[in-house]
Amino acid sequence: MCGRWPEEKRSRAGALSLLAALLFAAAACTGRSEQDGHGAKQEEERTVALRIVYDNYPDHPDLQTDWGFACVVQGFEKTILFDTGANGEILLSNMKAVDVSPEDVDVVVLSHVHGDHTGGLETFLGRKSGVEVFMPASFPERIKARARETGARVVAVDEPVTICEGVHSTGEMGEQIKEQALVLRTSEGLAVITGCAHPGIVEMVKRATELGPEPVHLVMGGYHLLHEPSQTIRSVIAMFREIGVRNVAPCHCSGDETRRMMKEAFGKGYLPAGAGTALVLHRQGEQGE
């Protein structure tokens, strides 16, 4: 998939700013060299950056690994932190390693209530108050109240909702464990980011397709297939094919066998994701301009 940060560049990323790395990746994909300030500004304005800043799989030597998930989305109207991992200090340390400050974040979106996705929230809000926090409506009142005490504006999500132009929530899904996924509308197609996909990864991707007519370009995050048999994983792969999913980046609770089978099935469309993974897409209607 065009947009993955080249391996040789990722090894030196601790000394690079996130912006510089993203501009390099975007220029490499389009065959353009943006050397002048005006060109770099144009490239910055149309790129969408996805950066995993918390995961139990490694993908960058400067980031700590830990059970959980968090991803920063930049390039839309608002900068979004999707999930906060289990430990706030690890989250902030990993964000700093890729030159993302809490002050850069406008919105926090929490996938579901489990601590490996919400554990870093209080520490994060201690560094950046006044943000919007989109959480499933089923979250306990104590979590909502604690977030409000920090100055955050809590948005309880039930039905699908627009977070900002081009960014949507699937809405609260599932029965026992309620969960929402993040859906990005890009020039390449829909990018679906999941925390754990407790309601079912296929069901969550199908819900995402109801939010826009674009094909599904990418499904990234936890697939909740860690303890599932190979037959179930093969079924997910078949359903992804039927839906038209082009690229997969399973991490967190997806499991080694899922990653192996997805790699075999999708070939170049498989992306080995983990803490530090950086992907570049483009805002809708702006690729190739």
Residue 66 has pLDDT above 80, yes or no: yes
What pLDDT shows up at residue 284? 79
What pLDDT shows up at residue 34? 39
Residue 52 has pLDDT above 50, yes or no: yes
Closest by CA to 18, choosing from 59, 51, 54, 65, is 51
What pLDDT shows up at residue 27? 34
Please name the residues in contact with 231: beta carbons below 8 A apart, sequence gap of 6 or more: none
Neighbours of 227 (CB within 10 A): 9
Strands 167-169 and 182-186: antiparallel
What pLDDT shows up at residue 32? 35
Over residues 16-33, the mean pLDDT reads: 36
What pLDDT shows up at residue 46? 85
Question: pTM of this prediction?
Answer: 0.86
What pLDDT shows up at residue 30? 34
192 against 289, higher pLDDT: 192
243 against 288, higher pLDDT: 243
pLDDT in tens, 188-228: 999 999 999 999 999 999 999 999 899 999 999 999 999 99
pLDDT in tens, 114-172: 999 999 999 999 999 899 999 999 999 999 999 999 999 999 999 999 999 999 999 99
Residue 5 has pLDDT above 80, yes or no: no
Over residues 12-38, the mean pLDDT reads: 38
What pLDDT shows up at residue 13? 39
Residue 37 has pLDDT above 60, yes or no: no
What pLDDT shows up at residue 3? 53
Average pLDDT, the chain: 88
What pLDDT shows up at residue 44? 53
Report the percent of the chain where pLDDT is more than 70.
83
Cα-flanking dihedrals φ and ψ of residue 240, to 5°?
Answer: -60, -45
Band (39; pLDDT cuts 50, 70, 90)? low
Query: In the chain, what are the domains?
Result: 7-282 (3.60.15.10)
